[in-house]
């Protein structure tokens, strides 16, 4: 649901009737692992990385959840005639909802780290 309107991010459909507590059944999407993105000329590395950054930031800071198993094995790149590529995020069996207080502190932590703001960093880790 969170990426339904995003033209660059694709999440496979989950087949609820074939899914149980121990088995997640998803739509098959053919693609290449993100570490082999050079195989898709229409997927410039900088744009793929920016798309991944934006997707993770949206999950955490906007939608308030985190993918519990996000690693390169769960990311594919597929060609797309309209956008050049799609970033496909796989394995949606483990998510954690993040409380707003945590999200606010985490945002301050990252903003402070990037800006070199010691006071902000101190506030982020001490509350």
The set of residues, in sequence order, having a beta carbon less than 8 Å from that of 41 and lying 6+ positions away, is none
The set of residues, in sequence order, having a beta carbon less than 8 Å from that of 59 and lying 6+ positions away, is 2, 65, 66, 67
- Selection from 109, 105, 4 nearest residue 55 by Cα: 4
Please state whether beta strands 75-80 and 32-33 pair in parallel, antiparallel, or not at all (unpaired). Answer: antiparallel
Determine whether 69 is an active site residue. yes
Q: What Rg value do the Cα atoms of the chain yield, rounded?
A: 17
Which is the catalytic residue, given 6, 69, 91, 117? 69
Question: What residues act catalytically?
Answer: 69
């Amino acid at each position: 649901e969170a990426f339904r309107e995003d033209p660059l991010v694709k999440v496979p459909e989950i087949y609820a009737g074939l899914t149980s507590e121990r088995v997640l059944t998803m739509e098959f999407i053919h693609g290449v692992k993100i570490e082999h993105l050079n195989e898709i000329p229409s997927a410039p590395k900088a744009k793929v990385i920016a798309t991944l950054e934006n997707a993770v930031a949206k999950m955490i800071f906007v939608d308030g959840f985190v993918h519990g198993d996000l690693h390169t094995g769960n990311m594919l790149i597929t060609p797309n005639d309209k956008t050049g590529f799609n970033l496909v995020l796989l394995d949606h069996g483990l998510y954690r909802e993040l409380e707003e207080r945590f999200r606010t502190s985490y945002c301050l932590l990252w903003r402070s780290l990037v800006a070199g703001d010691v006071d902000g960093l101190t506030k982020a880790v001490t509350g």
